């Protein structure tokens, strides 16, 4: 299982460089205001659906996404096609309540445009600039288009806005079904806590665009997690230890020298505390090396030799 996952992420990362150039969004190396995020473990094809019921219609829209790579064949479903070069697609299944007819179709939300020129202006915002109590990052990906409902036939730009919110207790995969790999389906205990990836809305915004809003709770959006992973806290510890050790030795030498100078009028080597010992260090070391060499050579004949 673990091996499989590693293999998958390896595969993903080989595709990544190309994708990053194309969409301007590299899920493994996101850098926002100096904060680094790695969402590569949230990659893979995931889907969630939302049902909207009105008096006469029942609309079930399934959103299929892969934030780390294009959807490829997952963009083709019974409901329709949306373009294999997309990252996020919507698949609408619209049925009248009286049970007659209905429509099905797919549409792109985010990803490469048909010419392959990449999604328009990916945008990244740290959530604490929106709400200071929130930790995480908002990712906006464009490149989709949607025609709206029946009486409005005009095609409008469509994009996705995903809020990756910090939750130290979640990997982000809780309650997700992965279409690629049924083995990756999470156990039920996870889903009782609620899914980590949630639909918020799909609406026409003030600037006349359709926006799919999602919320994704994961520890990979936490500042603390990223710092720990980079190992900088460990470095911090060692740096402090070496610094303190250095300061202690320096203090000892300086204070000791000052004491020797004042009390005994010492000069030169004699200034240093244990000056005579320090002076002998090269000889002691030489002696030690000799002994080690002797031992290594295993010269039994000189076994009688014993150091002072």
Ligand X SMILES: *[C@@H]1O[C@H](CO)[C@@H](O)[C@H](O)[C@H]1NC(C)=O
Contact set with ligand X (CB under 6 A): 49, 51-52, 54, 60, 62, 149
Nearer to ligand X (CB atom), residue 200 or residue 229: 200
Neighbours of 62 (CB within 10 A): 17
Q: Is residue 42 within 8 Å of residue 195, measured between CB atoms?
A: no
Nearer to ligand X (CB atom), residue 40 or residue 161: 161
Nearer to ligand X (CB atom), residue 52 or residue 299: 52
CB of 114 to ligand X, least distance (A): 25
CB of 60 to ligand X, least distance (A): 4
CB of 59 to ligand X, least distance (A): 7
Which alpha helices (H) appear in the chain, and where do they start and end? 2-23, 188-192, 223-229, 232-264, 275-297
CB of 13 to ligand X, least distance (A): 29
Distance CA 129, CA 138 (A): 10
CB of 176 to ligand X, least distance (A): 13
The per-residue DSSP string of 233-285 comes to HHHHHHHHHHHHHHHHHHHHHHHHHHHHHHHH---GGGGSTTHHHHHHHHHHH
Q: Is residue 35 within 8 Å of residue 126, measured between CB atoms?
A: yes
Distance CA 45, CA 76 (A): 12
CB within 8 Å of 307: residues ≥ 6 apart:
287, 291
CB of 131 to ligand X, least distance (A): 22
Nearer to ligand X (CB atom), residue 36 or residue 58: 58
Nearer to ligand X (CB atom), residue 27 or residue 71: 71
Nearer to ligand X (CB atom), residue 206 or residue 276: 206
């Amino acid at each position: 299982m673990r091996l499989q996952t590693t293999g998958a992420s390896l595969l993903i990362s080989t595709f990544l460089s190309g994708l990053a150039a194309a969409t301007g969004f590299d899920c493994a190396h996101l850098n926002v205001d100096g904060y680094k995020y790695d969402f590569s473990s949230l990659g893979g094809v995931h889907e969630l659906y939302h049902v909207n019921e009105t008096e006469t219609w029942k609309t079930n829209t399934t959103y299929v996404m892969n934030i780390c790579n294009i959807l490829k064949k997952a963009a083709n479903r019974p409901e329709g096609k949306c373009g294999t070069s997309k990252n996020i697609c919507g698949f609408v299944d619209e049925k009248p309540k009286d049970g007659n007819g209905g429509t099905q179709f797919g549409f792109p939300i985010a990803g490469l445009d048909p010419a392959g020129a990449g999604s328009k202006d990916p945008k990244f915002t740290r959530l604490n600039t929106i709400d200071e109590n929130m930790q995480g990052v908002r990712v906006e990906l464009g490149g989709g288009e949607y025609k709206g409902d029946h009486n409005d036939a005009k095609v409008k730009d469509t994009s996705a806005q995903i809020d990756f919110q910090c939750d130290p207790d979640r990997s982000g995969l809780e309650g997700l079904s992965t279409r690629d790999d049924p083995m990756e389906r999470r156990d039920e205990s996870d889903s009782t806590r609620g899914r980590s990836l949630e639909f918020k809305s799909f609406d026409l915004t003030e600037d006349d665009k359709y926006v799919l809003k999602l919320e994704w709770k994961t520890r990979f959006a936490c500042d603390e997690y990223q710092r720990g992973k980079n190992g900088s806290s460990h470095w911090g510890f060692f740096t402090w230890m070496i610094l303190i050790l250095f300061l202690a030795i320096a203090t000892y030498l300086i204070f000791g020298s000052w004491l020797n100078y004042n009390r005994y009028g010492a000069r030169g080597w004699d200034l240093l505390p244990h000056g005579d010992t320090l002076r002998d260090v090269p000889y002691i070391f030489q002696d030690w090396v000799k002994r080690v060499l002797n031992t290594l050579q295993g010269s039994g004949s000189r076994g009688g030799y014993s150091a002072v």
